Structure 1
Amino acid sequence: MTPTPGTPPTGTRRPGRRLSAAAVAALLLAAVPAGAAVSADASAPKSATGPQGQKLTVSAATGLDPAGQKIRVTGEGYGPTAGIYVALCKDNGANRVPSPCLGGADMSGGSKNSQWIVPPGDPYEGELALPFGPGGTFDVEIEIKAKGDGLDCADVPCSVVTRADHRSSGDRSQDVRIPVTFAGQEPGEGGEGVDVPAGTVSYKPAADFTSAGKPLDLLLHPDSKKLYVGADNLPDTADVDERGLYVLNPADGKAESWISDAPGSTGALRASAAARISGPLPGDGVVYNYPLRGVGSAKAGDAAASGVWLAGSTITDIAPGTAAGTVLVAQGTKLSEIATATGTATRSLTLPGGNQFAADHERGAVWFSDFAAGKLHRVDLDSFAVTGSFDLPGADGMTGFTETDPASGAVWVGVNRSVLVFDATGKLVKTLVGKDLARDAAFDAESGRAFVVWQDGGDLSDPANDNNGTLTVYGTEDFAPAAKELSLPGNHSQSGAAALAVEPGGATVFVTSPAEG
């Protein structure tokens, strides 16, 4: 069903046990995934009840051998028409697909790490899949271990789960989860990384916010302190259309508002994703871009966004304009300043190439990135003309990010697995190299630090990928690491680029994981 505009989608709630790094993760509060009720005796088999009354039982759930052991998994009460997988998976909490899983989503019938169970008479019954018994029952054995196939239960909470098979991947009604731990782990414990010397700054995952669909962009409002999240629909929750602009309480992730509708090309309201957030409105609210050519404004409590629909090409980037009531908009290579009330372009410029930019109003400049040609163009905001062009070493067409440090005017450009830092004149002063793809940067003036999120490529057939992203922190003057890097398990680029927001002072960082919602 489609939720009522202005109301957070049903079926989304914040997990109770601390997860590792999913969705919009506030690196502040420790929290435990609430799944179904689990029996309390640690020495006995564990059971859990699913949303449709399914009962899942495992022969052992604590003190498991990290190197691998066999466990027996039984179930009853599963639906007669839906196929399921049985596997050890990362537990992403309620209403989120359990993933990645040991053995992957096996469709060959050859995996010992997972089992595929189908209704009797299903076309895949036989060598590929086992049939349910009477009453939707099954009794299988799987081999599980602490690490493999992009899953590391030392870093993330893991559960033995059932989930709908690949033919109904958006169906969460078959999700039943039993948390498991391996020898050396306490119940409910995920990895925190190795200890660091006293006095070393470090960050740790502390909460997962799963109340905002598939997050695309973030803004922590400087006045209201609310966390605005631009989101698209998450395919894993097929019964809910989660597109729109969310307003979250940054302390607990609760959705206080959800603005799902914005004016389309005819002016009629329609459900719209919030793709990019331009900047804050005074007091509260934001200006944002919604596909394909919408420029909208909304604040907490609004039933729908107000907005205009631009002529021309798809909007590819947006930022605050030079005066109140204006925004800078890129439509591919065309850069324009637009009146938000009318959509009228007050001035425009077509650049040699590119589709992404960052504005530095303090110094009157726009830095426009052309990743295909490997060029960074400087546009003067007074004359609205290109005043310089600079090389982007290593650019090969893969889009990264472009951000400016408000304090210094330095331009940080993500290019593949590197971040190129240019000073305010366009001189390349530093190249930061990471192990993942550079996806976004945010700056904190109080601490003088820059925060960079890097995403894994997500293709585990490539030896360079491990399914985990990274959060790094640097000083903005010397570019030296200012904190121990933090692994972001499951944060990969297959479903979109990650985004960042930082609380003033840098004590809390918000990181999106679009693939996990």
Structure 2
Amino acid sequence: MSSRRPLRIVLIALLVLAVIVLAGVLAVLLPILTHQSAGGSGQRVPQDFAAESSAEGADGRTRTLSVETADGQPAELDALNPGERLVVRGEGFDSGIGIYLAICGIPASPEEKPGPCLGGIPEGAMTGEADESLLASAWITNDWAWRNFATHGFGENGSFEVELTVPEASGDGIDCRVDRCAIATRADHTASGDRVQDMLLPVAFRD
């Protein structure tokens, strides 16, 4: 009888561990599976190369996306050069929905997410070793389950500030010398079907 007690204790411990692991998995997956779209961002994509744009989304939030050069000068978004440093700022975003920030293709309609995007997932982001001074794209989230993997978090009033290094004009199925592209924000993988965080500032690359 006494020999069965240690085995019973081990089985109970394994069961408790399994429940804890399952609860953790559900805590991560459930918000993704149950997320409801908040609608669109309400932005009319600028027809020029404006360095700032604001729009009131279907959720009632007014989002602003702006960009300047790393030394604080107006950015020439109609003549980007690979390797150029840009500072991108956002205000009014929903900090409960993580976003990706990159140079992406402008979608044909507001119901489609921006993409494909240059830069891909920030190099080193998934290991926490991303060099924030050399990012061609960024992942911004306050979600506890993903924050340690992201490159940035949201500040007060859904704000963020990211320094991007302009990547080469083509790659990942897009060529911004031919295709219409923009500095874009879009919901991350936890709410990929939600268009409420989509904001775009059109860009062109210098020949």
Query: What TM-score, normalized to structure 2?
Result: 0.63
Report the alpha carbon displacement of residue 124 of structure 1 after superposing the two structures with TM.
Answer: 1.9
- Pairing 1:296-311 to 2, within 5 Å after superposition: none
| Cα contact 1:91–1:98 (8 A) shared by 2 | yes
Is the partner of 2:103 in helix, strand or coil? strand
2:162 to 140, 151, 173: 140
1:80 to partner: Cα distance:
2.6
Deviation at 1:103, TM superposition (A): 1.8
Aligned residue number for residue 160 of structure 1: 183
What code does the residue aligned with 2:80 have? L
Q: CA 1:54–1:130 in structure 2 vs 1: closer, same or farther (change >3 Å)?
A: same
Question: Which of 153, 174, 179 pairs up with 1:131?
Answer: 153
CA shift digits 1:134-167 (9 cap, x unpaired) = 1100001111231222221012000000000011
Distance 1:68 1:171, change over 3 A: same
Say whether 1:55 aligns with 2:71. Answer: no
Q: How does 1:69-218 map to 2 (within 5 A)?
A: 69-93=84-108, 94-106=110-122, 108=126, 110=130, 112-119=135-142, 122-145=144-167, 146-184=169-207
Matches within 5 A, 1:352-501: none
If asked which structure has higher relative contact order (CA below 8 Å, sep 6+), I would say 2
Contact preservation (8 Å) 2:140, 2:151: yes
Summarize the Cα distance change of 1:127–1:97 in structure 2 as closer, same or farther, 3 Å threshold: closer
Structure-1 separation of matches of 2:165 and 2:97 = 24
Q: How many residues align?
A: 148
- Structure showing greater radius of gyration is 1
For the residue of structure 2 that corresponds to 1:54, the secondary structure is strand
Structure 1 gaps, min length 5: 1-10, 13-33, 185-517
Q: Distance in 2 between matches of 1:168 and 1:91?
A: 19
CA 1:48/1:36 → structure 2, altered by over 3 Å: closer, same or farther? farther
**Matched residue type, 2:183:** V
Q: Deviations over 1:295-348 (max 9, x none)?
A: xxxxxxxxxxxxxxxxxxxxxxxxxxxxxxxxxxxxxxxxxxxxxxxxxxxxxx
Task: List gaps (5 residues or longer) in structure 2.
Answer: 1-38, 69-74
The structure-2 alpha-carbon separation of the partners of 1:151 and 1:144, relative to structure 1 and needing over 3 Å to count, comes to farther
Counterparts in 2 of 1:47 and 1:38: CA distance versus 1, 3 Å = farther
Bigger strand fraction = 1
- The equivalent residue for 2:44 is 36
Counterpart CA distance in 1 for 2:191 and 2:139 is: 13
1:113 CA displacement: 1.1
Paired with 1:91 and 1:63, the residues of 2 have a C-alpha distance of 17
Displacement of 1:130 after TM fit? 1.5
Q: CA RMSD in A?
A: 2.6
Distance in 1 between residues matched to 2:47 and 2:160, nearest whole Å: 20
After TM superposition, the score normalised by the length of structure 1 is 0.27
Q: Distance in 2 between matches of 1:147 and 1:102?
A: 7
What is the SS of the residue equivalent to 1:135?
A: helix
8 Å contact from structure 2 (residues 121, 138) kept in 1? no
Q: Separation in 1 of the partners of 2:45 and 2:180?
A: 16
Amino acid at match of 1:36: R
Shift of 1:37: 5.5
Q: Structure 1 residue 118: deviation in Å?
A: 0.7
Query: Deviations 1:64-119 (Å, cap 9, x if unpaired)?
Result: 11x33221100000113100011000111322111111122445253721111112
Q: Give 1:129 deviation, angstroms.
A: 3.3
Percent of residue pairs identical:
35
Separation in structure 2 between the aligned mates of residue 122 and residue 172 of structure 1, nearest angstrom: 22
Query: Is the CA contact 2:54–2:65 (under 8 Å) kept in the aligned structure 1?
Result: yes
